[in-house]
């Protein structure tokens, strides 16, 4: 994750400011890194920042919000599942189209190109 993203996440409240080393570099704990990894995963699966912020706010409140947090994750999981189905359909379509192009290319190698429209010999076309 880039430093720009980390600063942005701090600015919007997704991560709490962390301690710094003498040289000014941020010092993240293992727990911080696990949280940042989770955020990265949620963002990579198109969870909106506002939803991530809501989840982060609930997380800060502790275990009493586990039901709400679970619901957010279940809803997001369902959205990802729908995206996966759409991607699988797109993948199947691409596989089909690629196979068709390979057949066309094979046919061209064997028989030569097939014209989809007849060519017009310009010497036979009357002048306007």
CB atoms within 10 A of CB 5: 14
Number of helices (H), then strands (E), belonging to the chain: the values are 4, 0
Residue 46's pLDDT band (cuts 50, 70, 90) = very high
Instruction: Say whether pLDDT at 123 is over 60.
Output: no
Which of 85, 79, 87 lies closest to 42, judged by CA? 79
The boundaries of the domain holding residue 25 are: 3-110
**Cα separation, 47 vs 40, whole angstroms:** 10
What is the number of domains present in the chain?
1
Predicted confidence (pLDDT) per residue in 88-99, tens digit:
999 999 999 999
Q: Which residues contact 47 (CB under 8 A, 6 or more apart)?
A: 76
Q: Which two three-digit tokens encode residue 81?
A: 């599942």
* CATH number of residue 28's parent domain: 1.10.1660.10
* pTM of the predicted protein model: 0.72
């Amino acid at each position: 994750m880039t430093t720009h993203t980390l600063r942005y996440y701090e600015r919007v409240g997704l991560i709490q400011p962390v301690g710094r080393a003498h040289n000014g570099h941020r010092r993240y704990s293992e727990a911080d890194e696990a949280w940042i990894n989770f955020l990265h995963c949620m963002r990579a699966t198109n969870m909106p920042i506002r939803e991530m912020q809501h989840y982060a706010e609930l997380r800060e409140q502790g275990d009493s919000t586990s039901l709400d947090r679970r619901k957010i994750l279940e809803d997001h999981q369902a959205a990802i599942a729908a995206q996966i189905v759409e991607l699988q359909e797109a993948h199947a379509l691409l596989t089909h189209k690629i196979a068709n192009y390979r057949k066309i290319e094979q046919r061209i190698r064997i028989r030569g190109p097939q014209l989809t429209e007849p060519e017009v010999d310009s010497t036979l076309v009357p002048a306007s």
